[in-house]
Amino acid sequence: MPNQHKLSGVYAAVVTPLHEDGTLDQSTLPSLLEFLANRGCHGALLLGTTGEGPSFAPNERITILRAALDIRHSFPEFRLLAGTGTPSLEETIALTRASFDLGYDSVVVLPPYYYRHVSDDGLFAWFSQVILQAVPDGKLLLGYHIPGMSGVPLSIALLEKLKNSFPHRFAGLKDSSGDPENARKLGSHFGDDLFVFTGNDRLFSHALQANASGCITALANIASPSLRQVWDTFQMNQDTTEIQENLNKARAILEANTPFPPVLKSVLTHQYNFPNWTVLPPLVPFPTERAEGVAADINAILK
């Protein structure tokens, strides 16, 4: 059985709905979150990589985080996580504090990603300041391990030091390394002591077997019923192989059409009749002539 934690489950790294001028489509963000809740998600991460978090100014992030709260009118138990990491310590502290003030369940914090090859001591000092200044008692911070994007990995030694130093506020991490060996090492080293979300749909079953507590993935925007089926099947100690294989095929289509935010927004438009949301530069919209085919291919696998 996976690590049972109050935040355990299936989460979408949700896209951010944007009008053509790049402003938030405030009226449809709650509708998108309701769509995810109705399709099996326990919650959503706002302003992660798929949500284009680093592309928004702090005041824009607060507007987005506040707009998402409307989901709780119809789904009061739907869990909300906020991506708050920036290269600036001051901005990260302010965004983290604001997220908890708004009532978010947890934050997912990138390491400061401009300076690479920094020491674990430097990262520990940085995360310590965020936790001490912005994470209230009873609230939880997750690190965000995505070295392929950030260039700044979170080592097991660093995670252990943070967990030992802040046992009630540093909860674990989102592991988006895509490395099955890292998933195994995390489970083997920490057991039930660290709360781990896998960020890669291909590794969901593998990560659960390695004691992960759930997933936060891009594909969950369109494939959450299959991810929830893996989750529920695993809870019953049943075989997830067939469902996982279909998820792998769908993920392969997504990975052939990177970056993820434009293609996911296009699939949501063509397959589920959401508005034709744009993306912020440097991303560009997914070609319309390809979007319908990608949507159909993924739907054929996951239907």
| pLDDT per position as a tens digit, 84-139 | 999 999 999 999 999 999 999 999 999 999 999 999 999 999 999 999 999 999 99
Is 104 among the residues known to form the active site? no
Tell me the CA distances in angstroms from 208 to 36, 39, 247, one per residue in order: 21, 20, 15
Residue 287, phi then psi, degrees to nearest 5: -60, 125
Residue pair 210/186 in contact by the 8 Å Cβ criterion: yes
Q: Give the pLDDT confidence score for residue 228 in this predicted structure.
A: 98
- Tell me which H or E stretch contains 134: helix 120-134
Instruction: Copy the structure tokens of residue 227.
Output: 């991810």
* Per annotation, catalytic residue among 96, 104, 144, 240: 144
Mean pLDDT estimate for the chain: 96
pLDDT at 30 over 70: yes
Residue 278's contacts (CB-CB under 8 Å, 6 or more residues apart) are: 18, 19, 20, 22, 265, 285
In angstroms, the CA 138 to CA 132 distance is 13
Decide if pLDDT at 3 tops 80: no
Give the integer Cα–Cα distance in Å for 97 and 104.
10
Q: Are 98 and 62 in contact (CB under 8 A)?
A: yes
* The one catalytic residue among 11, 16, 49, 104: 49
Q: What is the DSSP letter of 151?
A: S
Q: Which domains, from first to last, does the chain contain? A: 9-236 (3.20.20.70)
State how far the Cα of 301 lies from the Cα of 223, in Å rounded to an integer. Answer: 10
Q: Considering Cα of 200, then 201, then 203, then 208, what sign does the dihedral take?
A: positive
Q: Would you say 150 and 156 are in contact if contact means Cβ atoms under 8 Å apart?
A: no
Task: Kindly compute the dihedral angle of the four CA atoms of residues 229, 232, 235, 236, in this order, to the nearest 10 degrees.
Answer: -90
**Which DSSP string do the residues of 168-210 spell out, in sequence order?**
TTEEEEEE-S--HHHHHHHHHHHGGGSEEEE--GGGHHHHHHT
CB 16 within 8 A of CB 52: yes
Point out the catalytic residue in the list 6, 23, 114, 115: 114
What integer pLDDT is reported at residue 196 of this predicted model?
Answer: 96
What pLDDT shows up at residue 63? 98
Task: Give yes or no: 96 in active site.
Answer: no
Q: How confident is the model at residue 5 (pLDDT cuts 50, 70, 90)?
A: confident
The pairing of strands 79-83 and 43-46 is: parallel
Catalytic annotation present for 249: no
- pLDDT at 4 > cutoff 80: no
Its pTM stands at: 0.96
Helix (H) or strand (E) holding 141: strand 140-145
Q: What is the mean pLDDT of residues 149-154?
A: 96
Chain position carrying tokens 């992660």: 48
Q: Could you give the CA distance from residue 19 to residue 172 in angstroms, rounded to a whole number?
A: 34
Which whole number is the average pLDDT over 68-86?
Answer: 98
Question: Token pair 């399709």 is at which residue?
Answer: 39
Known catalytic residue: 49? yes
Q: Ramachandran region of residue 25, left (φ > 0), alpha (ψ -120 to 50) or beta?
A: beta
Dist. CA 223–CA 221, nearest whole Å: 6
